[in-house]
Amino acid sequence: MDTQIVTQHQDGLADLHRIFDVQHGVTRGGLAPTLQERKSRLEKLRQMLVANEAAFVAAISSDFGNRSADETRMLEIGLVLNGIRCARKGLARWMRPEKRHVDVAFQPAKAWVRHEPLGVVGIISPWNYPLFLSLGPLVDVIAAGNRAMIKPSELTPRFSDLLARTIADTFSEDEIRVVTGGVEVAQAFSELPFDHLVFTGSTGVGRKVMLAAAANLTPVTLELGGKSPAIVCDDVDVAKVAKSVAFGKFLNAGQTCIAPDYALVPSSKVEAFGKAVIAAVGKFYPTLAGNGDYTSIISDRHYSRLVGAVDEARAAGATVLSARDDGVAAARKVAPTVVIGAPENGVLMREEIFGPVLPVIGYDSLDEALAFINRRDRPLALYAFSHQRETLEKIVDGAISGGVTLNGTLLHAAQDGMAFGGVGPSGIGGYHGRDGFIRFSHARSVLKIGFINVFEKLGPPWGGLARTVSKILARRR
Ligand code: NAD
């Protein structure tokens, strides 16, 4: 490192601590933001997004090489705007203290739970949906009355700089700030004693983030990755389902945490399904290289990783079906690809694919398909296609995952009415809508004693009355 880089790096780290101290100070010195203050912050965020929509779309596309403008508008900006709408609508109700039951033994008394801000929340986000995964958590964090610091990914530098500027223009330093930088900044960020840390990214980095947070006893929400399967049952129309799986897989060129990672298909239909996926792709993306709808791979490293994984499977005897377009490599695009017979010990079936490559695995019974999933880490998402309710129930009961969409893909993650999150190695904790408000609040229990405190009347000194009351309480059913 030369002197200039060292100085910049130190400046970045000093900034990090300074901003944290400013935000931490206001959360320890004042009252929680009122309903109106929270709504006004959400409104400012909405206006900032709407005013800068075109700039965000352009920055993200330029970071990727090409990122579909419609996908950025729909799957990033649109989803954040939905989240804001939902929070503004529900917030007054969510913030209301909740009355709780008080056992007769403790009467007369009243009990309630207040959902209060935690304080300063850190948000570390990945590159694949850089706006949605920075501002999605932020909406719930603001709704819960917190201050926030965001560290976006170094792989989307144009977007990250734009976000830092627009947030700084919209919010004061003691409300929200974005800090940019590489892995060293991310590491230092995760070591700050936040009141809560939200991390979205890979399972490997998630482990490091949780370790760093543990030193401060900072609670974490970890939104991680994994291999999300799609089970295609025997009773469905293969061509129709292939289209649905292809939609979820090739959006953002497969660089979606909940994209179907691989498909489990009845053995007799594997080839027909693979061909139907490629046929569907031909309709979705008639060309690839110059097609603005088909997104590039984020970096050369990820491009080589994907091409290498397919080459490895091909060398091991797998059949590779691929949409053809000669110019894709120059646009850092990987053509939509189906791999039949990928070896279980190869990269494609060992690691999260995170690109437009779909292994199709044959199965002979539903139990075998479920056992295949259950031999692996619990996935972030699970997809199942069947017309039979009992079959879908058997699948949902038989393989645990973070979330599920039945007879479709992805869309459970777009719901504000229920939490989105993983389980085990695919994540800890969920958010979105009211569940996000609860996740980023402290549920504070309050008990108000009535005109007499019976327990204080019993002793000490403890005597016969206390013993009689103990016996009565112990015998209660
Ligand atoms: P990543 O784990 O490499 O990086 C995520 C963020 O962590 C980046 O901002 C990076 O700067 C930061 N980081 C890197 N090293 C760090 C460290 N040692 N300490 C603290 N922070 C560090 O992930 P990525 O490549 O950006 O994203 C892809 C992964 O994210 C995939 O595994 C995908 O499944 C997952 N993902 C999950 C969700 C979800 O909601 N569950 C959503 C999108 C992506």
Best probe residue, ligand 1, of 63, 149, 199, 202 (max atoms within 8 Å of C-beta): 202
**Mean pLDDT to the nearest integer, 202-229:** 97
Give pLDDT, residue 30: 77
- Tell me the CA–centroid distance for residue 223 and ligand 1, in Å: 9
> The tokens 């543990």 sit on which residue?
214
Q: How far apart are CA 428 and CA 417, in angstroms?
A: 19
List the residue whose alpha carbon is closest to atom 40 of ligand 1: 223
Give pLDDT, residue 324: 80
Structural contact between residues 141 and 438, judged by C-beta atoms closer than 8 angstroms: no
- Tell me the CA–centroid distance for residue 201 and ligand 1, in Å: 2
In the predicted structure, residue 11 carries a pLDDT above the cut 80: no
In the predicted structure, residue 443 carries a pLDDT above the cut 50: yes
Best probe residue, ligand 1, of 200, 353, 380 (max atoms within 8 Å of C-beta): 200
* Ordered DSSP codes for 298-340: S-HHHHHHHHHHHHHHHHTT-EEEE---TTTGGGT----EEEE
In the predicted structure, residue 27 carries a pLDDT above the cut 90: yes
Q: What are the φ/ψ torsions at residue 203 (nearest 5 degrees)?
A: -65, -40
Q: Cis ω on the peptide bond leading into residue 219 (within 30° of 0)?
A: no
**Mean pLDDT to the nearest integer, 447-459:** 93
* Cross-sheet strand order for the sheet of 120-124: 176-178, 147-151, 120-124, 196-200, 220-223, 427-428
Q: How far apart are CA 328 and CA 322, in angstroms?
A: 12
- Tell me the CA–centroid distance for residue 203 and ligand 1, in Å: 8
Using DSSP, state whether 118 is helix, strand or coil: coil
Give pLDDT, residue 29: 86
Give pLDDT, residue 373: 98
What is the number of alpha carbons within 13 Å of residue 432 lying toward its C-beta?
Answer: 19
- Tell me the CA–centroid distance for residue 319 and ligand 1, in Å: 31
Q: 99 exposed, middle or buried (CB, 10 Å; 0-12, 13-18, 19+)? A: exposed
In the predicted structure, residue 3 carries a pLDDT above the cut 70: no
Q: Hey, what domains does the chain have and what are their CATH numbers?
A: 3-224+429-441 (3.40.605.10), 229-416 (3.40.309.10)
Give per-residue burial for 107-135: e unless 16+ CB within 10 Å, then b.
Answer: eeeeeeeebebbbbbbbbbbbbbbbbbbb
Using DSSP, state whether 65 is helix, strand or coil: coil
**Mean pLDDT to the nearest integer, 133-157:** 98
Q: How far apart are CA 81 and CA 132, in angstroms?
A: 10
Structural contact between residues 384 and 396, judged by C-beta atoms closer than 8 angstroms: yes
pLDDT tens, 167-186? Answer: 999 999 999 999 999 999 99
| Confidence grade of residue 5 (pLDDT, cut at 50, 70, 90) | very low
Which are the catalytic amino acids?
223
Q: How far apart are CA 258 and CA 248, in angstroms?
A: 8
- Tell me the CA–centroid distance for residue 126 and ligand 1, in Å: 5
Apex CA 230: angle with CA 224 and CA 231, to 5°?
Answer: 140
> For residue 225, which atom of ligand 1 is closest to its CA?
34
Q: How far is CA 241 from the centre of its chain?
A: 25
pLDDT tens, 304-349? Answer: 999 999 999 999 999 999 988 778 998 999 999 999 999 999 999 9
- State the distance between the two ends of the chain, measured CA to CA, in whole angstroms: 70
Mean pLDDT computed over every residue of the chain: 95
Best probe residue, ligand 1, of 60, 135, 150, 153 (max atoms within 8 Å of C-beta): 153
**Mean pLDDT to the nearest integer, 72-78:** 98
| Confidence grade of residue 400 (pLDDT, cut at 50, 70, 90) | very high
> For residue 201, which atom of ligand 1 is closest to its CA?
30
pLDDT tens, 86-128? Answer: 999 999 999 999 999 999 989 999 999 999 999 999 999 999 9
List the residue whose alpha carbon is closest to atom 35 of ligand 1: 201
| Confidence grade of residue 14 (pLDDT, cut at 50, 70, 90) | confident
- DSSP single-letter state for residue 259: S
Structural contact between residues 376 and 362, judged by C-beta atoms closer than 8 angstroms: no
Give pLDDT, residue 10: 55
Percent pLDDT > 90 in the chain is 93
- DSSP single-letter state for residue 344: T
Ligand 1, CB within 6 Å, residue ranges? 124-128, 133, 151, 153-154, 183, 186-187, 190, 200-202, 205, 208-209, 223-225, 257, 352, 354, 380, 422, 427
Apex CA 56: angle with CA 157 and CA 83, to 5°?
Answer: 110
Q: How far apart are CA 302 and CA 64, in angstroms?
A: 12
* Residues β-bridged to residue 376: none
Give pLDDT, residue 1: 44
In the predicted structure, residue 463 carries a pLDDT above the cut 60: yes
| Confidence grade of residue 477 (pLDDT, cut at 50, 70, 90) | confident
List the residue whose alpha carbon is closest to atom 14 of ligand 1: 183
